[in-house]
Amino acid sequence: MRNLSRYRAALLFVGPSVVLLTVFVVAPILVAAVASLTDLDLRGLRDLSSVEFIGLDNYRRLFTDSLFGTAALNTVLYVVLGVPLIVVFAMGIALLLNFGTSRLYSGLRAAYFLPAITNIVAVAVVWGYLYNTDSGLLNYLLSIGGVEPVPWLDQPFVAKLSLILVGVWKGAGFNMIIFLAALQGIPKDYYEAAELDGAGAWHKLTKITIPLLRYATFFVTVTTTIAWIQFFEEPFVMTDGGPLDGTISVALFIYQNGFNLSDFGYASAASVLLFLSVLLVTAVQFRLRRADVEY
């Protein structure tokens, strides 16, 4: 009792978070893991006694499902192209905006952050117009230069690149704020000392600024990678996985099997694999981070 009263304040602060984490994160993961070993479907939700334990059959089925293979490859492409683009784009904007403090720069910060808080449906409507092959603004601008119309959302590979562009545009603003906060935390003394040593703008950028942004860069990389592994909104709203399943992601594959086909056991198996891939990639990133040089 004495120890309990001693840590009462800490328990009061931590307790609600632990309860919420358990109810909304840990419990659903455990339920999905159990459901992945069954043939749970819509009939099973009404009558749990009809649900049968089928072991690893759902996982075997996934590894022979060509659509799941396509979704996995698409997701890898989204991560490989999308994450570096967002990190570089967000850092570049933050570096440029960090030079000024006038109202113009404040307005630009707000403008770049707006996509992060814009509803994805509104985003899909606007970008759908821009991407329209026959009457879209992008093809109109290209036609002025004599370029043939680009099938932005009608050809599988081009559609994937188009969705990546939308994802980068929507995600860069939030990460730009993180880089801006990190930039403003770098002591001015470092730059003054470098100037006394004759360092130019390029050397200050590459020897001081970018190295001291390593913690922000690591955070942005980890969180962005997790988000892109679960890439869902853009293909769901703009293409529904098409054309020819060319833009389907693993997250969208899970949604289609779970909510369109009511094959909850199969969808749960895919979600468990997605969860394990997030854990694996994040663990690798943290492992590589330990080898970082301390300044």
Give the chain as a 3 state SS string. CHHHHHCHHHHHHHHHHHHHHHHHHHHHHHHHHHHCCECCCHHHHHCHHHCCECCCHHHHHHHCCHHHHHHHHHHHHHHHHHHHHHHHHHHHHHHHHCCCCCHHHHHHHHHHHHHHHCCHHHHHHHHHHHHCCCCCHHHHHHHHCCCCCCCCCCCHHHHHHHHHHHHHHHHHHHHHHHHHHHHCCCCHHHHHHHHHCCCCHHHHHHHHHHHHCHHHHHHHHHHHHHHHHCCCHHHHHHHCCCCCCCCCCHHHHHHHHHHHCCCHHHHHHHHHHHHHHHHHHHHHHHHHHHCCCCC
Report pLDDT for 117: 85
Question: Tens digit of pLDDT for each residue in 184-193?
Answer: 888 888 988 9
Which domains, ranges and CATH numbers included, belong to the chain? 65-291 (1.10.3720.10)
Report pLDDT for 124: 84
Question: Tens digit of pLDDT for each residue in 125-154?
Answer: 888 889 988 888 999 999 998 888 899 998
pTM, to two decimals: 0.88
pLDDT (average), residues 101-116: 79
Report pLDDT for 287: 87
